[in-house]
Structure 1
């Protein structure tokens, strides 16, 4: 009788758990587990970090579960309204936004929200919807319209200023446009246009943004100021050697030479304590994540699902590449967390939402949308 009751309970629970893609869920758990181990070391002496991150992970899985239960057809129906609301909120930020630390990025609606975070998913959804509805008649004008849809929120976010988020939103939108069939000739033309416009763009950047680029070129010009982040993080990455110094034995982190060691620079802590071997394992996990996402995109049921899944997957790549690049001194410092490892609630919820969308697309891969 008890065995039958257990089986009956499993039958009732199973439909709710079946929305999680086993392979993708396992990869995410391994990444989050690695992040927790690293955070436990990086947050020694900082009470509450581990508890908060465990809560963030639970919330991320809850959001993931909700998104996995929403069909791609429903996402397609709400894509344009969600984009319109997100753009409206960005305009409201520009007009009435709250200023913190010299940046106007928040909107007070009882609580402070950051509408640019919504655009990270609203942008690829909108462009995927646009190309789905124009799949049979794509011309160069179609890509021009898509470029305008992408440029409007990027301009509003960059104006706040928020270089990191504008770059991520731009990357998400670009991946959709590229996967939709952007020709190499047009891509080359865009690259040439961008390079030619650099003399115009440079004076438009804020002083701190220009300083970041100059610090990236030569961090030793201000080793105790603007260059401190890059110098100390590269020392930590290099000092890890082959096998690392061991968990909680990283001197750069625990002597507080690494700034933001629990968030944007957690990769420096991981590299110092687990070395090259640990980094190779971490890279393998991210490659598995990207590979699984691309597999889901390849098996998607329609243009919308394929473009959305492909863009989300490549955004994961962008997060990891940019974060590891800036910590290693290969790229300028921007505010991009290491996906599923850095401490923080908002980024983890956004990443979990994206993972849930991938799982939904995988579940509905056999449905054909005409």
Structure 2
């Protein structure tokens, strides 16, 4: 019999960390959307969170390699949704990223993150060697959604796709010198890439260098976010007492800038707890990578941990004024069902794989 959680096939520290992060997120969304009464948005967020938990627990029971074999189907379906966005999508703040299905708004570009992680594990796991024509095909399969999402426009999400590709290649074993070369080429490409950006995207990048240069424009969001985080100090101003959010100084406070609301009302201790929980999850995922038996398992687990690290880091840097505003939600915390479901799918598959890895280890240790 399993005598303690260390020997359990379910990773309790990881699972409990996700639940705690979701709980902190609900506190933030409740406050950010509160207007004298409980907001319908908060009720939706509770339902999204429950859906995320359901998907995590459901997929944790499905054999990992069975799910990976459906990667091409998942990718094709998600790509179809992306193609439909310009045709039937809903435009919000000048960007067409959402599709309405009855009362539900879905963002296919978010789901594509999970699709690409799954596809990377499927494709790279089947390659005998890395440099072959199949790798070129994988590049094409990443480029198609990148182009579609970049033109929505959504610079942040399209940037995430190539981060996924980089993490997948890293855990597949691509030598570090190739990443150094790619970094050099990226630097050389920057002057050309600058002209591909829209004016508001350029303004957001320049705002990081000097947000006060355009105080009421591109720098406003960053300045208010920094004020909110700093004013929370160690203990915070108190639940529902954040002045930046409740006096409407902080835009997008319930989505990409939810961390600012949490930091202002709950202070440094809650912010540190939230960040620690994220990095505990990432650390738990990475520690299982050496236990994998094949490249498919290694690539999926490594890329999933890399994606989570990348997205959490960019969101936190963005809210602290150290990175341009690129529209990147904080997983399981920011308001929105598409992001929660995406990372619920991702962690559900991770838990399925972890269960298999721990089961193998227990069998091996018992001889």
Is the alpha carbon distance of 1:90 and 1:36 closer, same or farther for their aligned partners in structure 2, counting shifts above 3 Å? closer
* Residue aligning to 1:12: none
**Partners of 1:334 and 1:185 in 2: CA distance:** 29
Give 3-state SS (helix, strand or coil) of 1:105's partner: strand
Is the alpha carbon distance of 1:339 and 1:106 closer, same or farther for their aligned partners in structure 2, counting shifts above 3 Å? closer
* Residue aligning to 1:128: 121
**Partners of 1:204 and 1:245 in 2: CA distance:** 42
> Among residues 320, 323, 329, which one is paired with 1:331 in the alignment?
323
- Shift in Å at residue 230 of structure 1? 0.5
> Among residues 191, 204, 225, which one is paired with 1:233 in the alignment?
225
* Residue aligning to 1:7: none
**Partners of 1:72 and 1:51 in 2: CA distance:** 32
TM-score, length-scaled by structure 1: 0.86
CA offsets 1:262-301 (integer angstroms, 9 cap, x no match):
2211111111122222222222111111111112333234
* Residue aligning to 2:20: 30
The reply to whether residue 160 of structure 1 matches residue 152 of structure 2 is yes
**Partners of 2:32 and 2:89 in 1: CA distance:** 31
- Shift in Å at residue 175 of structure 1? 1.0
> Among residues 112, 126, 135, which one is paired with 1:119 in the alignment?
112
**Partners of 1:211 and 1:316 in 2: CA distance:** 27
**Partners of 2:130 and 2:164 in 1: CA distance:** 20
Cα RMSD, aligned residues only: 2.4
TM-score, length-scaled by structure 2: 0.87
Check the 8 A contact 2:114/2:343 in 1, yes or no: no
Once the two structures are overlaid, the 10-residue window that deviates more, 137-146 or 263-272, is 137-146
* Residue aligning to 1:14: none
CA offsets 1:134-159 (integer angstroms, 9 cap, x no match):
1x323376655543332232122112
Give 3-state SS (helix, strand or coil) of 1:285's partner: helix
**Partners of 2:273 and 2:265 in 1: CA distance:** 13
Q: Unaligned 5+ residue runs, structure 1?
A: 1-17
CA offsets 1:300-319 (integer angstroms, 9 cap, x no match):
34211221111111211122
The reply to whether residue 182 of structure 1 matches residue 171 of structure 2 is no
**Partners of 2:311 and 2:351 in 1: CA distance:** 20
Is the alpha carbon distance of 1:257 and 1:27 closer, same or farther for their aligned partners in structure 2, counting shifts above 3 Å? same
* Residue aligning to 1:86: 78
**Partners of 1:138 and 1:36 in 2: CA distance:** 43
CA offsets 1:72-110 (integer angstroms, 9 cap, x no match):
21122111232233334434445x343514334345677
Check the 8 A contact 2:234/2:267 in 1, yes or no: yes
- Shift in Å at residue 348 of structure 1? 0.9
Once the two structures are overlaid, the 10-residue window that deviates more, 77-86 or 59-68, is 77-86
> Among residues 36, 48, 55, which one is paired with 2:40 in the alignment?
48
Is the alpha carbon distance of 1:53 and 1:90 closer, same or farther for their aligned partners in structure 2, counting shifts above 3 Å? closer
* Residue aligning to 2:4: none
Give 3-state SS (helix, strand or coil) of 1:257's partner: coil
Is the alpha carbon distance of 1:20 and 1:346 closer, same or farther for their aligned partners in structure 2, counting shifts above 3 Å? farther
**Partners of 2:111 and 2:254 in 1: CA distance:** 24
Check the 8 A contact 2:106/2:337 in 1, yes or no: no
Check the 8 A contact 1:90/1:153 in 2, yes or no: yes
